[in-house]
Amino acid sequence: MFDRPLLRFVPRGTKINFMRGRFIGLATSAVLSIASLILFFHPGLTLGLDFRGGIVVEARTQGPADFNAIRAALAAEHVSAAGVQSFGGPDDVLIRLDTPPDSEPDHEARTQAMVDSVRHAIGTLPGAQVLRADAVGASVSRELFRNGMLALGISLLMILAYIWFRFEWEFAVSAVVTLILDLTKAIGFLVITHFEFDLVMVAAILTILGYSTNDKVVVYDRVRENLRKYRTMPLAELIDLSINETLSRTLGTSSTVFLAALPLALFGGASLSGFAWVMLFGIVVGTSSSIFIAAPLLLLMGEKRLRRDARPPTRT
């Protein structure tokens, strides 16, 4: 009864010639990655509290927020240079302040006094309440940024070592190059959407890298298996065969993860929606890059070494 899957995204025996468009895929990826790098330098990422430092207070008002009343209440508490903006629902307010310089001897006391002043100002508004108040100093934010970048770098090195150990160097290099291209596109997405880049986004990017690596390992496993099974098949035909054989599984896994993350993006609120949208973008990019980037790179780097005894490709 259950000898066949109930749902197949592609029919059995599908023969799509993906490698025919390999240069288009590589060129498109290169253009998008270059554009993302340009956006990274200008206008740049919107750094969150973790990496920028400062004070962030989230408040909720009774009914739609009256920003003039909020600014007046802050001014009455001598809180100047405060950035007040809406986020989430119409009654959600985000207040940003710069922290005093870390070099000042009373830095912590002044920071706490600023937070208390904001809390008191919000408390004067009818029905308003403070939901969250966080403060991060400049030195701590620099350390968090450095540690976040270090985590991304170490993850890429570990992925390189793992795939190199499990497969061969052509597989490892093509996978890591593809992951770096995926990473640049995710950065471009963050710049365009103005999602704050903080430790939560670092976690999202690390999750994307892990998912994308798993997707590529599935394809690479089938390529390695077919290399032993079809010893004279040209590498381009073999990679096409391997992708087609794993295509239904790839699309099924991607769709499952996508549908699981979609409710968080739509209904997760301000704290989770950014993470979820980056995840959704990463799922689409990671799945497509396994087919249109990682596989063509493997073909370019391994065509001679992995297929020394292959017969010439058949002409059609």
Per-residue pLDDT at 6: 58
Last residue of a domain, one of 116, 136, 156: 136
Per-residue pLDDT at 285: 95
Taking only the tens place, the pLDDT of each residue in 182-224 is 999 999 999 999 998 988 899 999 999 998 999 999 999 999 9
Last residue of a domain, one of 85, 110, 136: 136
Strands 129-136 and 46-47: unpaired
| 99 and 238 share one domain | no
The encoded tokens of residue 148 equal 């976040």
Q: Assign 1 a pLDDT band (cuts: 50, 70, 90).
A: very low
Q: Is 13 part of a structural domain of the chain?
A: no
Kindly report the pTM of this predicted structure. Answer: 0.82
Task: Report whether the peptide linkage leading into residue 64 is cis, meaning its omega lies within 30 degrees of zero.
Answer: no
pLDDT tops 60 at residue 316: no
| 180 and 132 share one domain | no
Highest mean pLDDT among 46-50, 145-149, 283-287: 283-287
| 113 and 180 share one domain | no
Q: Is 213 part of a structural domain of the chain?
A: yes
| 159 and 262 share one domain | yes
| 102 and 188 share one domain | no
Taking only the tens place, the pLDDT of each residue in 232-258 is 889 999 999 999 999 988 998 999 999
Q: Is 308 part of a structural domain of the chain?
A: no
Q: Is 171 part of a structural domain of the chain?
A: yes
Say which residue, 124 or 137, is predicted with more confidence: 124
Query: How far, in Å, are 62, 147, 226, 294 from residue 243 at the CA level?
Result: 55, 37, 11, 11
For residues 132 and 58, the answer to whether their CB atoms sit within 8 Å is: yes
| 85 and 228 share one domain | no
Please tell me the total count of domains within the chain: 2
Residues of the domain holding 66: 54-136
The encoded tokens of residue 316 equal 């059609």
